[in-house]
Amino acid sequence: MSTSTEADNGSRSSGSYHHGNLRAALVEAGLHLLEQGDTADFSLRELARQVGVSPNATYRHFANKEALMMAMAAEGFRRFTFALTEGAASGNGFFGAGRGYVGFARKNPALFRLMFGRFTSTHHSEELGEAGQTAFTVLSSGVAGFLGAPADDPRVKTVALQCWSLVHGLSHLILDGQMDTMGDIDELVGAVLRPPGMGK
């Protein structure tokens, strides 16, 4: 994180940042601008100013804005995986993970759209691929556990896609305001993602 003093001292160089720190600071600032503006409609130049480094310093880490956005999406998938595992640990395992999925989307709507929008299906990096794969593996393992089936059972893939579709659709319908007339959103999410036999 850049303080105003660091920004003043470092405004023409990246000397105040350790290499890895500046990369992380740029990703963090990018994520902040993304949620503020609701779209990734900012420039690397603007980002450099926010972090308090020269535009050239950003190019040492990201060849262009697309490279930064891939790193932002990858960081998003790491946080998202954490939200899934945290949700699963909070109770009702598999269904808790589903609530973690929808909760992440509601807290990070622009990041959610970046992670699951056309950008990530048309831009690929090793870091992004790994982060996305880890998230999908967590989902599939949860399904395998729920079904009591080995991970390579063909039913696991189908049920994982069904579960993914369900929580993804619910997230989109909420973010797009399509559930606004359906009553309290928290109650609705609870009802849609309630384990069978847990009462109405």
Contact between 116 and a second copy per CB under 8 A: yes
Contact between 182 and a second copy per CB under 8 A: yes
d(CA 155, CA 59): 45
Q: What is the DSSP letter of 139?
A: H
Contact between 172 and a second copy per CB under 8 A: yes
Structure tokens at 128: 């992004």
d(CA 134, CA 127): 11
Q: Which of 13, 14, 64 lies closest to 43, judged by CA?
A: 64
Span 127-156, contacts to a second copy by CB under 8 A: 154-155
Instruction: Select 4 or 121, whichever has its Cβ closest to a second copy.
Output: 121
Instruction: Select 3 or 165, whichever has its Cβ closest to a second copy.
Output: 165
Contact between 2 and a second copy per CB under 8 A: no
Question: Is residue 125 helix, strand or coil?
Answer: coil
Contact between 192 and a second copy per CB under 8 A: yes
Q: Which of 123, 117, 160, 121 lies closest to 138, judged by CA?
A: 160
d(CA 163, CA 160): 5
Contact string (CB under 8 A) for a second copy, positions 42-81, x = contact: ----------------------------------------
Contact between 120 and a second copy per CB under 8 A: yes
Max distance between CA atoms of the chain, in angstroms, equals 62
d(CA 73, CA 145): 28
Instruction: Select 91 or 169, whichever has its Cβ closest to a second copy.
Output: 169
Mark the segment that binds a second copy (CB under 8 A) among 3-11, 57-65, 141-149, 188-196. 188-196
Applying CB under 8 A, the residues found at the interface with a second copy are 116-118, 120-122, 154-155, 158, 161-162, 164-173, 176-178, 180, 182, 188, 191-192, 194, 200
